[in-house]
Amino acid sequence: MTSNSSAKVHPSAVLEDGCSVGSDVKIGPFCHVGSDVVLKDGVELLAQVSVQGHTTVGKGTRIFPFASVGNEPQDLKFSGEKTTLDIGENCIIREGVTINPGTAGGGSQTRIGNNCAFLANSHVAHDCVVGNHVIFSNNVMLAGHCVVGDHVIFGGGSAAHQFCRIGHHAFIGGLAGVEGDVIPFGMAIGNRANLAGLNLIGMKRSGVARDSIHAVRNTYKALFSGETVVLEAAKELGAAATDPHVIDMVEFITASADRALCTPSSE
């Protein structure tokens, strides 16, 4: 173990040879830290936390009891190959959370951004990429290979299908089952989830200008009016767009993807 003298480690904790522990790290009772783990400065493992694999935990991140971080991915094709999990700075990982590393078939890496909050019993599967300032409410489930943008909020008990993309500032309603890609600023609700408008509150909180909000709303209406196929409408709107938020939304829609797009209900 490589440890800074300022680290505080409870006598009952197990730190395997080879792990790296930064300054001001706190490791509470009955925690288990694997040999290839790196805990950056100021990390806190409260109690009974398991951090394993080739996992790096960023500065100031706090992990609560019974969380399982970096243990083998829940993928039957995994055969022990070296894969990684990188968790950013100042994250909160609450009780019972599970976050898995990548797999060889999916890029070999799971990445979590900075300032994220994973509330109790939420799950991030293998090969996911999660942005900054993302909130997982209780019991949220993210299947493998998902990509989540910055400032996304998942309501309690919601779930995303594997390979889904969730655009930045999207809001996923409680208990929603997301099967398709959710556009930036989109609001998805229901099982199976449909778009239910835009996350206007999230846009305002993030300081998006009023003119940009109006431009995005007009783009949303044009995209999903039903008069033109969404992809064709996106290409037409993108050719004339000048607002950066509109351009971002259109590029999200026209990018190649593994899943269909989450759209408003036809009912």
Residue 98 CA to residue 109 CA, distance in Å, equals 15
Percent of the chain exceeding pLDDT 90 equals: 96
For residue 1, name the pLDDT band (cuts at 50, 70, 90): confident
Strand partners, 141: 123, 159
Q: Domain 2-145, what fold?
A: UDP N-Acetylglucosamine Acyltransferase; domain 1 (2.160.10)
| Residue in 28, 88, 144, 167 annotated catalytic | 144
How is residue 240 written in tokens? 């004339």
Break the chain down into helix, strand, coil percent, rounded to 5: 15, 25, 55
Calculate the average pLDDT of the chain. 96
pLDDT at position 2 is 73
- 93: amino acid identity, one letter: I
Query: In the annotation, is 127 catalytic?
Result: yes
Taking the whole predicted model, whether its pTM rises above 0.85 is answered as yes
Find out whether 22 and 9 touch, Cβ atoms under 8 Å: no
Residue 210 CA to residue 217 CA, distance in Å, equals 11
Query: In the annotation, is 86 catalytic?
Result: no
Find out whether 46 and 63 touch, Cβ atoms under 8 Å: yes
pLDDT at position 238 is 95
Please report, for the chain, the start and end positions of each structural domain, with discontinuous segments joined by +: 2-145, 204-254
| Residue in 127, 150, 181, 248 annotated catalytic | 127
Residue 160 CA to residue 151 CA, distance in Å, equals 16
How is residue 147 written in tokens? 């990509």
Residue 55 CA to residue 71 CA, distance in Å, equals 9
Residue 181 CA to residue 259 CA, distance in Å, equals 6
Query: In the annotation, is 144 catalytic?
Result: yes
pLDDT tens-digit map of 110-168: 999 999 999 999 999 999 999 999 999 999 999 999 999 999 999 999 999 999 999 99
pLDDT beyond 80 at 5: no
pLDDT at position 127 is 98
| Residue in 123, 126, 145, 168 annotated catalytic | 126
For residue 247, name the pLDDT band (cuts at 50, 70, 90): very high
For residue 64, name the pLDDT band (cuts at 50, 70, 90): very high
